[in-house]
Homo-oligomer: A and B are copies of this chain.
Amino acid sequence: MLPASAAIVEVGPRDGLQNEAASLGAPDKVRLIEALVAAGLGRIEIGSFVKREWIPQLADTDEVARRLPRAPGVTYSALVPNRHGLERALEAGLGEVAVFLSASETHNQKNANKSIDASLEVFADIVPAARARGVAVRGYLSTVWGCPYEGHVPPEQSLRISRALRNLGVGEISLGDTIGVGNPLQTRRILETFFAGGFQPRELALHMHDTHGMALANCLVGLEMGIATFDASVGGTGGCPYAPGAAGNLATEDLASMLQGMGIRTSIDLDKLLDAGRLAQELIGRRLPGRRLQAAIGAASRAMRSEAQTT
């Protein structure tokens, strides 16, 4: 039984750009985000309020937020690692913030520079503070399908951490296949663990990476099990930090195209989304990995060549 409609959370301006070698200026980021809004995306992650020197590509998130036109029906969000980040997000007027940690201890240590328990302690402070200010809080849980340092991550460990997040007031937990190794059987088992552990499908989102080409197969399992929120990145921006040149984030066009083909309603206009993908490729200056985008670019170049032949 498939859901009648599904939501896409666009993470390209944050998760995509932070893993690109090219660094876009705030005006270009705003152009890209505006193109995504025009394509119908209703939830867009625009950056991160971590220390500016940690992720130079996202150091201007405050400025991006200031320059963005508020659009009805569109929620902008950003990552916040701590109280200071939250204050910056609140000042920027974002409607949602996201906290993040990993399901594996080593990855959390390397990524957030603290233990999982220490991350949860920080969130115990900032999640209620955000909610008290009327701001929704999303939680990212990374390495649920596997850790580049520890390998297998038990689903029960992910469940335990997710429960802690929910207890703090996190309204939606995005389960992440950070290194893109998840397979459909594993996805089924992870979701079964979460549902048996008391989670409802609407409390969860899937954040799949396409590093091994399985992102859409994993999303399909999610859909079949009632998940209706999926993260994706325009053009598949982002790459895989553990394998330069490999694919990273699932491309928004690939996901939107599959949902549309399956008759699952979204807010997306696919043609305009492909326009946003072309813009992302132009701004970033490399051939992006999204399959649907490259098919559209290839079909257009073929049409131009055919025209050239017949005239």
The yes or no answer to A298 lying at the interface (CB within 8 A) is: yes
The yes or no answer to A115 lying at the interface (CB within 8 A) is: no
Beta-carbon nearest neighbor of A300 in chain B: B243
Write out, one digit per residue, whether chain A residues 290-306 have a CB within 8 A of any chain B CB (1) or not (0).
Answer: 11101111110110000
Q: How far apart sit A220 and B221, CA to CA, in the bound complex (Å)?
A: 9
Q: Are A263 and B185 in contact (CB under 8 A)?
A: yes
The yes or no answer to A112 lying at the interface (CB within 8 A) is: no
Binds B, one of A34-42, A51-59, A245-253: A245-253
With known contacts A212-B257, A254-B213, A258-B214, A240–B295 Cβ distance under 8 A: yes
Q: How far apart sit A152 and B183, CA to CA, in the bound complex (Å)?
A: 30
With known contacts A184-B258, A185-B262, A298–B240 Cβ distance under 8 A: yes
Q: Are A251 and B295 in contact (CB under 8 A)?
A: no
The yes or no answer to A225 lying at the interface (CB within 8 A) is: no
Question: Which parts of A136-184 form the interface with B (CB within 8 Å)?
Answer: 180-181, 183-184
Residues of B near A301 (CB, < 8 A) are 244-245
Residues of B near A258 (CB, < 8 A) are 183-184, 212-214, 217
Residues of B near A299 (CB, < 8 A) are 242-243, 246
Q: Are B291 and A183 in contact (CB under 8 A)?
A: no
The yes or no answer to A216 lying at the interface (CB within 8 A) is: yes
Q: How far apart sit A139 and B295, CA to CA, in the bound complex (Å)?
A: 27
Q: Are B184 and A292 in contact (CB under 8 A)?
A: no
With known contacts A244-B302, A301-B244, A302-B243, A211–B263 Cβ distance under 8 A: no
Q: Are A261 and B216 in contact (CB under 8 A)?
A: no
Q: How far apart sit A220 and B217, CA to CA, in the bound complex (Å)?
A: 7
Q: Are A298 and B244 in contact (CB under 8 A)?
A: yes
The yes or no answer to A210 lying at the interface (CB within 8 A) is: yes
Write out, one digit per residue, whether chain A residues 213-253 have a CB within 8 A of any chain B CB (1) or not (0).
Answer: 11111011100000000000000000010111111000100
With known contacts A214-B216, A242-B299, A261–B294 Cβ distance under 8 A: no
With known contacts A216-B214, A216-B216, A183–B261 Cβ distance under 8 A: yes
A residues near B, CB below 8 A? 2, 180-181, 183-186, 210-217, 219-221, 240, 242-247, 251, 254, 257-258, 261-263, 290-292, 294-299, 301-302
Q: A213-B213, A245-B297 are in contact. List 11 more A-B contacts (CB 8 A).
A: A185-B263, A186-B261, A213-B258, A214-B216, A216-B217, A217-B258, A220-B220, A240-B298, A244-B301, A245-B294, A246-B297
